Structure 1
Amino acid sequence: MGLLERPGERSGVVQPGLPVLPPGTERHPVPGGGSRAVRLAPGDEVIVVDREGGQRGELLAFGRDGAADAGLIGARADIPADGLRAALLASRSGRAVADVLSRAGCDLADARAVALHGPESRVGDSVSFTAQSDALVVLAAPGGPMAPEAQDTPTDLILYVRRANARNTGLHLPPDPLADALIDHQINPGEAFVYEVPAGAYIQILDVQGRECSDFQAFSARSIDRGTAREVDPTATRSMTGSIYPMPGLHSKYWNTDLEPLVEIVQDTCGRHDTFGLACTARFYEDMGYPGHVNCTDNINAALDPYGIAARGGWPAINFFFNTQLDDTHAIATDEPWSRPGDFVLLRALTDLVCVSTACPDDIDPANGWQPTEIQLRTYRDTERFARSIGWRKIPEDDVQDTRETGFHEAFARHTRDFVEYQGYWLPNSFPNVGTLGEYWACRDKAAIMDLSPLRKYEVTGPDAEQLMQLCATRNVAKLAVGQVVYTAICAEHGGMIDDGTIFRLGAHNFRWIGGSDDSGLWLREMAETHGLNAHVRNSTDQLSNVAVQGRLSREILSEVFWTPPTQPTVAELGWFRFTIARIGGYDGTPVVISRTGYTGELGYEVFCHPRDAVTVFDALWEAGAAKGMQPLGLAALDILRIESGLAFAGHEFDDQTDPFEAGIGFTVPLKNDVQFIGRPALETRKASPQKRLVGLELDGNEVPAHGDCVRLGRVQVGVITSATRSPILDRTIALARVFVDHAAEGTALEVGQLDGHQKRLKARVVPFPHVDPTKSRAKGNYD
């Protein structure tokens, strides 16, 4: 049966971001290792879907008397509920379920569960049951912490409930409040709502149905009392943050013209808002031929009138969820919002405020998806604590996830507050006490440690695992030995790159894929299903945190920290692109997997562990490394290192329109063998008739071009900058660029165009790359 939701579709327009469930159907995701409780009425159908395959489930049903009775759903309990009992202790969702069970008087002591799915279940396998009477059902997706050398990662189950008496009408109900709400008010389309918020309190503006805009304005209450109302000002905010609009993180505040911060954004699940145009006005509708149309500006004027704030013809506002952008001709364009049902922004008041929020009535263009709907406004006490977060979805249909902290976050947070969002996680950008250049030189001269936990890990197992990896990777996977790692590309049929990454071979039928994004893991799973292969592809990203220790002293540092059994190579024995299984200190120490890999061009290693052990691993490495001059390394310094070393970065050197040859990693496509993989025919054609090539550039001046700057020969564009930096070790500006092959010869004089591409030119010439250490002697451990 698979997942029940389908992309929304209307008049031939498919909208995956607005999934539609069958009438009367509810969806309750159950995280791997977690659980979920739902109440049933007679006739309700329960459907449990194994989302990634290979995940066992335990289902219990409790009657009104609190006794477990699988007969309530027409089933028979056949196993002890040990997995559920463990799940109740191991996760936040489990603790919430335990509270529900306790309040319902349910007895788990001798409860037995219905066993669902298991190691052989396929992606999308489902089982269903029908409630015979009132019941409380609990579903667990059992699984404990995965050891770094194991592949038993717990994954999600989806619990659907198809109600016998359908209660939903296709409209979404507001999600539960984030905490006890002080104000919980529905703003209907064409209305404005004014409210007061004390300093430190929180404001949640929630799009209930999706694709609806909400104007927001906030005034300093003190300024109103003085008779000189000061509100959030778009120009001041842009000037202070250096961005079109603030986002959670360091640059999160909205300012007034007195340069006083009024509010800061704490959470944002949408991430796409207006670029500070006016709230809709009477004049806008008049000019469109709709005189008298209700509008947000007039509504704001009416709401603020009791506060003595003068009316305006157009109110500047923060228009959350309104999708506007500047096109290439500098015209402001608008389209449907990106917001999905339940998306919200959470703000914190930095001073006492008077605020106004609207639900936009615009029904004459795509601004509200052509159908204005309600906005939910909630406020919370200043004693609540909410983590900073930017919403993350692997694919548009997915439930939103908060930006997470890696297992190593606590350890790196001792050294910096400069964290940026990266692929759904907070990662250090720089370490002010060291500085980006200090971090860089530590890696070049001694050693550096960095958090790379957001790399996506997928466990590929089963009798056809090798066949699947051979089908999807451009390398000859059959030649990969147990304990070996290979860097490869994964391509689509047309030859464009889906991702690059590394394959670890853990056994005859056991592989671990580590890539830059979930796209490649989802592609592997899709290809396994498409080709009917008996292979499981399960996400283990949250079971494996990893740091990289890079630099000429990295081997020495790791050798002091880790013990390996006689059946595994020591750190000193570990060859390039090999991995070993080790422990901190000795036989009973914390387990890790260590690979001799990296992203800096230096001798280096990556250390993988379970997130619960991450701080222990960091502390052991820091104790050994700090005495040798090891420093923490952030993303800013890493970017310099990888550009100098000619290492590809997704969205810069490659995307799904770029093949591995054009991305500068043609060595990952050995076409001399006869191994057939997805995209091979297209790559053979592309290699025989190349159009573009990745080259190195040296620039004469000190200015660093930006990604996307044009590369020109005279007035004609012949390429584009993919990455550029000022190289500290070379003391010159360097770049990677993709240019037409006719202009890719070493020594070719080119120019990088800025401004409009013609008014300003940076003189450059084609040089070999990598710019630093082209023979990779440093990565091989051969230092002068």
Structure 2
Amino acid sequence: MEESRKTPLTDWHAANGGKMVVYAGWEMPVQYEGLVAEHNAVREQAGMFDVSHMGEVLVEGPEALAYLQKLLTNDFSAMVNGEILYTMMCYPNGTVVDDLLVYRYESDRYLLVINAGNVDKDVAWMQEQAAGYQVSLTNQSSETGELALQGPLAEEVLQLLTDTDLSEIGFFHFRDHVAIAGVQCLVSRTGYTGEDGFEVYTPWNELEKVWVAIMEAGASKGVKPAGLGCRDTLRFEAGLPLYGHEISDSITPLEAGLGYFVSLKKEDFIGREVLAQQKEQGPPRKLVGFELIERGIARSDYEVLLNGEKIGFVTTGYLSPTLNKNVGQALVDRQKVAGAETLEVQIRNKQVKAKIVKLPLYRKRTKARG
């Protein structure tokens, strides 16, 4: 069995009450004092996540833009320096290799931030598709540390540690060479929780210094370390997809309701033909939200039925800490669910009734600057 990897903060987590699990091959904290307390801290004050397991790939060269236009679903032609775009990388059949963020430094230099469990697969796919382009790819994952400070007080707390005016970093923008607690960092403002917040990228061996400084600066304001458990409940409430659940190598972006990030105006990109056909005809499946009317919790992969007939499966389900309701998302047959107001979820040996609800389940109360 392969030994699990450690982030620069693994020892800190263990020493500060982190309940450690192996996730995507990494030793990570799933929670500290408890999922609900950490979830609520992010919604009401701020929480901080170790996300050093994420992958970072630098794409450089005179044909970097042309390469990304072919490789990815979004359109990067109008992107400006310091901007970030969310996108998907698809196979020719339209299903998803990964979802990722693209940071533009210059027209010939971009940073791609990819999911932890997909790094090796993604880099191999990117290298394969780079053939014929004047472009170089550098996997910087093992030398880059990253934390995410999320919540209404994120800016106020982080501002205590830098002379850079963080209010000038707009939503889905970033700035490089920002000194945080004396460490040169890249700071972005995206988030994966439904709240305002920042990602801070550091050299691998400098991350703990920045982490500890933020924890100390935020202690009096209720900032808590937060684990993978509430990271999932937060993103789920906000309707943000997780690879392997709402999107995967068997699900297309259009089925997942992510058509906004698929630019069919582009002449060509990998998967375009299938996705254009799905756009025209309607995807075979669609993602719906639901709230259980009867007792139970819907877990990932549970069968979803309509009038006793299987029509799909649960992608994610929880007792929502914010809503205090048993809710979920399911990928279901689009035509069969049309007009339906309720469905059933197979929970063990019982079919539990649920009403279909609008997504996302939660919209943030704080306004990130555009």
* TM-score by shorter chain over 0.5: yes
SS at match of 1:614: helix
SS at match of 2:170: coil
* Counterpart contact for 1:551–1:604, Cα < 8 Å: yes
Match of 2:345?
Answer: 752
Match of 1:524?
Answer: 126
Match of 2:16?
Answer: 415
SS at match of 1:548: strand
Q: Percent identity?
A: 32
* Counterpart contact for 2:304–2:313, Cα < 8 Å: yes
SS at match of 2:221: coil
Judging changes above 3 Å, is the alpha-carbon distance between structure 1 residues 746 and 631 closer, same or farther for their aligned structure 2 residues?
Answer: farther
Aligned equivalents of 1:590, 1:548: Cα separation in 2: 16
1:726 aligns with 2:328: no
**Residues 40-81 of structure 1: per-residue CA shift (max 9 Å, x gap):** xxxxxxxxxxxxxxxxxxxxxxxxxxxxxxxxxxxxxxxxxx
Aligned equivalents of 2:352, 2:366: Cα separation in 1: 31
- 5 Å-filtered alignment, 1:365-764, equals 391=2, 402-431=3-32, 434-516=33-115, 517-518=118-119, 519-529=121-131, 532-564=132-164, 570-581=165-176, 582-585=178-181, 589-671=182-264, 673-689=265-281, 690-745=283-338, 748-755=341-348, 759-764=349-354
- 5 Å-filtered alignment, 1:327-366, equals none
Letter in 2 for 1:684: A
Judging changes above 3 Å, is the alpha-carbon distance between structure 1 residues 618 and 540 closer, same or farther for their aligned structure 2 residues?
Answer: same
Match of 1:780?
Answer: 368
Judging changes above 3 Å, is the alpha-carbon distance between structure 1 residues 697 and 613 closer, same or farther for their aligned structure 2 residues?
Answer: same
Letter in 1 for 2:161: V
Aligned equivalents of 2:228, 2:26: Cα separation in 1: 13
Aligned equivalents of 1:430, 1:452: Cα separation in 2: 14
- 5 Å-filtered alignment, 1:24-63, equals none
Aligned equivalents of 1:702, 1:641: Cα separation in 2: 22
Judging changes above 3 Å, is the alpha-carbon distance between structure 1 residues 746 and 446 closer, same or farther for their aligned structure 2 residues?
Answer: farther
SS at match of 1:572: helix
SS at match of 2:31: coil
Judging changes above 3 Å, is the alpha-carbon distance between structure 1 residues 459 and 731 closer, same or farther for their aligned structure 2 residues?
Answer: same
More helix by share: 2
* Counterpart contact for 1:604–1:779, Cα < 8 Å: no
1:766 aligned to which of 356, 360, 367: 356
Judging changes above 3 Å, is the alpha-carbon distance between structure 1 residues 779 and 427 closer, same or farther for their aligned structure 2 residues?
Answer: farther
Judging changes above 3 Å, is the alpha-carbon distance between structure 1 residues 594 and 678 closer, same or farther for their aligned structure 2 residues?
Answer: same
User: How many residue pairs end up in the alignment?
Assistant: 365
Higher relative CO (Cα under 8 Å, sequence separation at least 6) belongs to 2
Judging changes above 3 Å, is the alpha-carbon distance between structure 1 residues 781 and 701 closer, same or farther for their aligned structure 2 residues?
Answer: farther
* Counterpart contact for 2:187–2:198, Cα < 8 Å: yes
Aligned equivalents of 2:54, 2:270: Cα separation in 1: 23
SS at match of 1:442: helix
Match of 1:235?
Answer: none
Aligned equivalents of 2:59, 2:314: Cα separation in 1: 36
**Residues 297-355 of structure 1: per-residue CA shift (max 9 Å, x gap):** xxxxxxxxxxxxxxxxxxxxxxxxxxxxxxxxxxxxxxxxxxxxxxxxxxxxxxxxxxx
Aligned equivalents of 1:736, 1:486: Cα separation in 2: 24
- Calculate the TM-score normalised by the size of structure 1: 0.45
Structure 1 residue 633: Cα displacement: 0.6
Match of 1:226?
Answer: none
Judging changes above 3 Å, is the alpha-carbon distance between structure 1 residues 477 and 726 closer, same or farther for their aligned structure 2 residues?
Answer: same
Structure 1 residue 779: Cα displacement: 5.8
Judging changes above 3 Å, is the alpha-carbon distance between structure 1 residues 420 and 746 closer, same or farther for their aligned structure 2 residues?
Answer: farther
Aligned equivalents of 1:724, 1:435: Cα separation in 2: 18
Unaligned runs of 5+ in 1: 1-268, 270-390, 392-401, 565-569
Judging changes above 3 Å, is the alpha-carbon distance between structure 1 residues 777 and 477 closer, same or farther for their aligned structure 2 residues?
Answer: farther
SS at match of 2:86: strand
Structure 1 residue 781: Cα displacement: 6.1
Aligned equivalents of 1:777, 1:505: Cα separation in 2: 28
Structure 1 residue 486: Cα displacement: 0.5
* Counterpart contact for 2:194–2:238, Cα < 8 Å: yes
Structure 1 residue 777: Cα displacement: 5.5
CA RMSD of superposed structures (Å) = 1.6
SS at match of 1:704: coil
**Residues 117-155 of structure 1: per-residue CA shift (max 9 Å, x gap):** xxxxxxxxxxxxxxxxxxxxxxxxxxxxxxxxxxxxxxx
Letter in 2 for 1:683: L
Judging changes above 3 Å, is the alpha-carbon distance between structure 1 residues 747 and 625 closer, same or farther for their aligned structure 2 residues?
Answer: farther
Aligned equivalents of 2:246, 2:350: Cα separation in 1: 24
Structure 1 residue 630: Cα displacement: 0.3
Judging changes above 3 Å, is the alpha-carbon distance between structure 1 residues 488 and 467 closer, same or farther for their aligned structure 2 residues?
Answer: same
Judging changes above 3 Å, is the alpha-carbon distance between structure 1 residues 747 and 772 closer, same or farther for their aligned structure 2 residues?
Answer: farther
Aligned equivalents of 2:130, 2:223: Cα separation in 1: 43
Structure 1 residue 654: Cα displacement: 1.4
* Counterpart contact for 1:408–1:611, Cα < 8 Å: no
- Calculate the TM-score normalised by the size of structure 2: 0.95
Structure 1 residue 563: Cα displacement: 2.7
Letter in 2 for 1:494: N
**Residues 252-305 of structure 1: per-residue CA shift (max 9 Å, x gap):** xxxxxxxxxxxxxxxxx2xxxxxxxxxxxxxxxxxxxxxxxxxxxxxxxxxxxx
Aligned equivalents of 1:745, 1:648: Cα separation in 2: 22
Structure 1 residue 629: Cα displacement: 0.2
Judging changes above 3 Å, is the alpha-carbon distance between structure 1 residues 547 and 679 closer, same or farther for their aligned structure 2 residues?
Answer: same
Match of 1:212?
Answer: none
Aligned equivalents of 1:745, 1:593: Cα separation in 2: 45
